[in-house]
Amino acid sequence: MSFNALVVEKNDEGKTSASVTQITEDQLPEGDVTVAVEYSTVNYKDGLCIGPGGGLVRNYPHVPGIDFSGTVEASDNPKYSAGDKVVLTGWRVGEAHWGGYSQKARVKGDWLVPLPDGLSAEQAMAVGTAGFTSMLAVMALEDHGLTPGNGEVLVTGAAGGVGSVATAILANLGYEVAAVTGRPEQADYLKSLGASRIVPREELNETTKRPLEAETWAGCVDAVGGDMLARVLGQMKYGASVSAVGLAGGAGLPATVIPFLLRGVNLLGIDSVMQPYDNRVRAWQRIAKELPMDKLEAMVQPATLADLPELGRAILKGGVRGRVVVDVNA
């Protein structure tokens, strides 16, 4: 029996094309759990995998989609039985392994986590890797001493998927959130998520020769990297931490070690792909309790499999606000 999937092909000239195609279950990759996928989402990595590949895709034809939620249809894994609701993020699914842009997916059961109580499959994909990464970033800051009374917490790239969810989570936990964006028209949106003030990107995206500036931020979730991260490190309060979650502004870091040595600043790397199971479950349980669902719904735009080629191009150009929820059965 065939079903729909977004399949990316590469021609002899190395050009890729993506289209909704009928595939069968025997085409799915190896794995011990088959999931009837209900929803997926769109991340920057998905944009790469739908389009040029970005070095992430190993073989073609390929089914992208680094996240999905759904119901277990068949399982040879003792952790899961038919009918269980599950979520998948990471583990290079949608990159090296066929992903969630399909009505069915087959994966290793160890890559899945149970859908937490209080969260629907649709809401889980409104969260997706972006929101999961945001919660990991907030957890890391709190594990390193951040509390709501410490002062303003900076969120860079705040109108993007990670930044939007981080802003909403932090504000809901009682933090003062300063949201950085290069899109002034997003100010009202960010304030609706709980940002207490908007910081124009141009205030932070220029490097300075001074290794230290005034102590300003009690914490930071940084989705930008590059020059902005270097600048922010010199503005952190004594002992404060930055959770580094992205590189929208570049992979380089033109910084000095002075903030680490003279102010005890911590730079915390946040990886969502290979995150251990127990911390995944901890993050998803906190998301279900601490991410306000009304704020989540405000950042969501719906989509279908047929919309994905265009959305993939848009997200690579910074043209997607908040979160996209893909109904793979629509």
CATH of residue 109's domain is 3.90.180.10
207 domain-assigned = yes
Cβ neighbours for 184, distance < 8 A, ≥ 6 positions apart: 198, 200
**Amino acid in the structure at residue 186:** Q
Residue 78 is part of which domain span?
2-115+299-327
How many Cβ atoms from other residues are within 10 Å of residue 302's Cβ? 13
Q: How confident is the model at residue 200, as a pLDDT?
A: 95
Tens of each residue's pLDDT in the chain, 330 residues: 999 999 999 998 889 999 999 999 999 999 999 999 999 999 989 999 999 888 899 999 999 999 999 999 999 999 999 999 999 999 999 999 999 999 999 999 999 999 999 999 999 999 999 999 999 999 999 999 999 999 999 999 999 889 999 999 999 999 999 999 998 999 999 999 999 999 999 999 877 789 999 999 999 999 999 999 999 999 999 999 999 999 988 999 999 999 999 999 999 999 999 999 999 999 999 999 999 999 888 889 999 999 999 999 999 888 888 899 999 999
The pair of three-digit structure tokens given for residue 82, joined into one six-digit string: 């038919």
Q: DSSP code of 248? A: T
> Residue 29 in 3-state DSSP?
coil
232 domain-assigned = yes
Q: Do residues 47 and 174 share a domain?
A: no
Q: Do residues 102 and 146 share a domain?
A: no
121 domain-assigned = no
Residue written as tokens 């993506």? 18
Report whether 47 contacts 312 (CB < 8 A): yes
End-of-domain residue from the set 228, 250, 269: 269
Q: How confident is the model at residue 318, as a pLDDT?
A: 82
283 domain-assigned = no
Supply the pTM of this predicted model.
0.92
Q: DSSP code of 62? A: B
Report whether 92 contacts 29 (CB < 8 A): no
The pair of three-digit structure tokens given for residue 206, joined into one six-digit string: 């220029």
Q: Alpha carbon of 30 to those of 24, 106, 116, 293: distances in Å?
A: 14, 7, 26, 35
Q: Alpha helix (H) ranges present in the chain? A: 44-50, 121-143, 161-172, 187-193, 226-233, 258-262, 277-290, 293-298, 308-316
Q: Do residues 243 and 308 share a domain?
A: no
State the total domains in the chain. Answer: 2
Spatial distance between the Cα atoms of 39 and 329, rounded to a whole number of angstroms: 8
Q: How confident is the model at residue 208, as a pLDDT?
A: 78
Spatial distance between the Cα atoms of 94 and 170, rounded to a whole number of angstroms: 29
Q: DSSP code of 78? A: T
Residue written as tokens 């102010």? 263
Q: DSSP code of 115? A: P
Q: Do residues 110 and 140 share a domain?
A: no
Dihedral over alpha carbons 179, 183, 185, 188 (to 10 degrees): -10
Nearest to 160 by CA among 252, 242, 41: 41
CA angle 131-79-133, nearest 5°? Answer: 10
Q: Do residues 53 and 172 share a domain?
A: no
278 domain-assigned = no
Dihedral over alpha carbons 158, 160, 166, 168 (to 10 degrees): 80
Query: For the domain that residue 227 is a member of, what is the CATH number?
Result: 3.40.50.720
Q: Do residues 135 and 87 share a domain?
A: no
Q: How confident is the model at residue 290, as a pLDDT?
A: 93
286 domain-assigned = no
Q: How confident is the model at residue 288, as a pLDDT?
A: 96
